[in-house]
Amino acid sequence: MTSAKANLMSGKTASESMAHKVERQLRGDILSLALPPGARISEQEIGERYGSSRQPGREALIALTKSRLVEVLPHRGAVVAKISVAKLMQAAFIRETIETAVAKTASRTFHFHARSRLEDCLKEQERAAEAGDHVEFRRYDDLFHKILAEGAGIPMAWPVIEDLKAHIDRACSLSIHDASSFTRLIAEHRGILTAIDARDEEAAAKAMTAHLSELLRDLPRLEAKHPDLFE
């Protein structure tokens, strides 16, 4: 692991509970579509998949039911919820409202240490793109937005965004499919950062809006191509 990568990941706790670990892993597999919408899941299957007892699996299912990524259906039990366009659109609206405000605030005041971390983050994202590693690429995509909120002095914005974007991420997993997608997203991140460096609030907000709107423009095509994954 590079020193920059180690620095970026330093906030991860080593004392993560098994229940939280299982929830994080299960959430990740749902968002990446490794567990597709409609898939049945049980406490026993979760235990076998992630090497845990039934109790952490039960807690993970409860947590993800609250996040509406899992639902309990009569006669079927727990299943991965299908992608809801209505929820996705609402989440996208709220996320854009928050993140454009974050970008504008960052243009007025931004911590120098966070600026350095953002540069490291983009370099790691470029490495992930070169390796064709979708999981790592998405990890650094999230980290970019997290660091942006922290650098703007609004760290509480990220947990709100992270919870909302769960309804967006599965559609993103369908749209990020080739090298051109990687290149475009990195260029959009750099565009946001350029506007922040120039202390141009309106340009930063505009760049953020364009970045977050790309998926919405592609949504009708994704829904038509993968009807079985959507409500």
- Co-location of 167 and 102 in the same domain: yes
In a domain, 9, yes or no: no
Say whether pLDDT at 34 is over 60. Answer: yes
CA–CA distance, 45 with 117 (Å, rounded to integer): 38
Q: Are residues 164 and 221 in the same domain?
A: yes
Residue 166: the pLDDT is: 86
Statement to judge: residues 157 and 180 lie in one domain: yes
Task: Clarify whether residues 117 and 76 are in a common domain.
Answer: no
38-93 residue pLDDT tens: 999 988 889 889 988 888 888 999 999 988 899 988 878 899 999 999 999 999 99
Q: Is residue 197 part of a domain?
A: yes
Domain finish residue from 80, 98, 130 = 80
pLDDT at 28 over 70: yes
Average pLDDT over residues 116-131: 95
Q: Is 12 a residue whose pLDDT tops 80? A: no
Question: Is residue 184 domain-resident?
Answer: yes
Q: Are residues 120 and 43 in the same domain?
A: no
Q: At what angle do helices 85-108 and 157-175 cross, to 10 degrees?
A: 120
Q: Is residue 10 part of a domain?
A: no
**In this model, does residue 193 exceed pLDDT 60?**
yes
> Is 148 within the bounds of a domain?
yes
User: Does a structural domain hold residue 68?
Assistant: yes
Beta strands, E only, the chain? 70-73, 77-80
Distance CA 77, CA 82 (A): 14
Q: Considering 35, 51, 80, which residue would you say is the last residue of a domain?
A: 80
- CATH number at 54 reads 1.10.10.10
Local confidence band at 8 (pLDDT 50, 70, 90 cut-offs): low
Q: How confident is the model at residue 3 (pLDDT cuts 50, 70, 90)?
A: low
Indicate whether 220 belongs to any domain. yes
Which domain does 98 fall in, by range?
85-229
Do 49 and 76 belong to one domain? yes
96: Cβ–Cβ under 8 A, 6 or more apart, which residues? Answer: 208, 209, 212, 213
- Picking from 80, 97, 114, the residue at the C-terminal end of a domain is 80
pLDDT-derived band of residue 2, with 50, 70 and 90 as boundaries? low
Structural domains in the chain (count): 2
